[in-house]
């Protein structure tokens, strides 16, 4: 989510993440461009990943959160890592586990996993699997792992586990939380889906300060529907975006909350698309909302980035930067105003200046591949991107993913 502009405060450190400890501080260069910061992790036994950051949330210039996957040093399962930057150092913070073998963040749609409305009130969406579910697949999972959602609440001191309202008797994917949006300690929202993939239905739940409750909404009546992220400008103006299927075609889904009820607002699909979905949304104002995702043409040769804009009346497709011959999927978006919007994806960061989208250069090491998954910013003068480096390590004997953050100031 986006926060009101705060008084200027210097950023004092580059990020060098060390699991279980703090990062070393170094002068942060603010050249006006994107600076790629390497976040090394100890190399585990091959072929495990070392670290992937999928979400970031900037509460202020000196209060920035990152979340993603880390390698479990005890067994072969991943765990959810949570990193915090306080303006000087970065520290990996402990957070509640649920006695599971695996804790998981969906890195494919992980940009909405963190949300804060103030420094002592925030949420993290993750998932978990039990030991039995890791080792025994009895065929009822339908390939939809992880199986259980968990929400962790930050109270300013520690992370506390809360549980969604789920349907009795559903073992796998009883309620899959994917995105979260915090408005106040007694007003937060979660979106996702419920049921197995073939019978998946969009899910929206609300936090009233004590418990999560399912909220009726029309997306639940659509075939194979799912909501990925939610945002808004107030408790009476919220947007949730995702996808559903009709006539074997995946289509975009946008729902709006006016303070009383959720309604589906028609959103376009590119001509000739066999698959199209919106996975992230950001609101600069009630009449200035941006959503991004991807679409696949017929024949399905590659994924193309999709950008849509709400002007207060209708959603329209806005042409994003495309690189013919390559996948250009977009994973997250951050809107500050009508002429200041960022989008990230496989092709790197893009910026909207009010007239067109353009790619922005990133200082990077050509020896490493990069993936940009989440973006956040407390104000236009301090913006962060979370992702990972795709490397090949002789020491590990194969591919290694390492935490990656980019900063623009």
Instruction: Look at residue 102 in the predicted model and tell me its pLDDT.
Output: 63
Tell me the pLDDT tens digit for each residue of 309-348.
Answer: 999 999 999 999 988 888 899 999 999 999 999 999 988 8
Highest mean pLDDT among 73-87, 156-170, 341-355: 341-355
Q: What is the mean pLDDT of residues 12-20?
A: 37
Q: Give CA–CA dist 293/173, Å, rounded.
A: 23
Name the H helices within 167-276.
none
Instruction: Look at residue 9 in the predicted model and tell me its pLDDT.
Output: 30
What does the DSSP 8-state code read for residue 261? -
Instruction: Look at residue 80 in the predicted model and tell me its pLDDT.
Output: 86
- Identify the band that residue 364 occupies on the pLDDT scale cut at 50, 70 and 90: low
Here the tokens at position 127 are: 């998932």
Tell me the pLDDT tens digit for each residue of 93-133.
Answer: 877 666 565 667 777 777 889 999 999 999 999 887 766 66
Q: Are 264 and 288 in contact (CB under 8 A)?
A: no
Total residues belonging to the chain: 409
Q: Which domains does the chain have, with CATH numbers?
A: 34-408 (2.120.10.70)
- Per-residue burial over 117-153, b = 16 or more CB atoms within 10 Å of its CB, e = otherwise: beeebbbbbbbbbeeebbeeeeeebeebbbbbbbbbb
Q: Name the residue among 58, 105, 103, 107 with its Cα closest to residue 84.
A: 58
* Higher local confidence (pLDDT), 242 or 146: 242
């Amino acid at each position: 989510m986006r926060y009101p502009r705060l008084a200027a405060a210097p950023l004092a450190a580059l990020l060098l993440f060390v699991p279980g400890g703090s990062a070393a501080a170094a002068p942060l260069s603010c050249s006006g461009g994107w600076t790629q910061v390497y976040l090394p992790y100890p190399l585990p036994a091959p072929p495990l990943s070392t670290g992937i950051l999928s979400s970031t949330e900037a509460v202020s210039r000196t209060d920035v959160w990152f979340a993603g996957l880390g390698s479990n040093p005890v067994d072969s399962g991943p765990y959810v890592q949570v990193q915090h930057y306080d303006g000087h150092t970065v520290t990996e913070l402990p957070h509640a586990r649920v006695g599971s073998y695996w804790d998981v963040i969906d890195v494919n749609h992980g940009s909405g996993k963190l949300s804060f409305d103030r420094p002592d009130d925030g949420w993290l969406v993750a998932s978990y699997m039990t030991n039995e579910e890791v080792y025994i697949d009895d065929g009822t999972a339908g390939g939809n792992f992880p199986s259980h959602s968990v929400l962790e609440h930050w109270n300013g001191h520690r992370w506390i586990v809360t549980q969604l309202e789920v349907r009795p008797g559903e073992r796998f994917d009883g309620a899959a939380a994917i995105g979260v949006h915090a408005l106040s300690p007694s007003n937060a929202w979660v979106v996702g889906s419920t049921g197995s993939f073939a019978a998946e239905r969009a899910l929206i739940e609300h936090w009233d300060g004590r418990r999560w409750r399912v909220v009726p909404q029309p997306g639940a009546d659509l075939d194979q529907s799912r909501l990925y992220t939610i945002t808004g400008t107030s408790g009476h103006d919220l947007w949730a975006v995702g996808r559903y299927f009709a006539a074997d075609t995946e289509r975009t889904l946008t729902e709006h909350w006016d303070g009383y009820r959720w309604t589906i607002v028609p959103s376009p699909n590119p001509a000739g698309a066999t698959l199209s979905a919106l996975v992230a949304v950001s609101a600069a104002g009630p009449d200035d909302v941006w959503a991004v995702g991807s679409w696949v043409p017929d024949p399905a040769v590659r994924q193309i980035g999709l950008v849509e804009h709400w002007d207060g009346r209708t959603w329209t497709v806005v042409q994003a930067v495309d690189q013919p011959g390559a996948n250009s999927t977009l994973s997250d978006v951050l809107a500050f105003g009508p002429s200041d919007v960022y989008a990230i994806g496989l092709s790197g960061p893009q910026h909207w200046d009010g007239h067109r989208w353009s790619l922005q250069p990133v200082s990077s090491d050509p020896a490493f591949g990069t993936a940009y998954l989440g973006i956040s910013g407390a104000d236009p003068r301090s913006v962060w991107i979370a992702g990972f480096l795709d490397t090949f390590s002789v020491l590990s004997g194969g591919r290694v993913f390492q935490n990656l953050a980019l900063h623009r100031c």
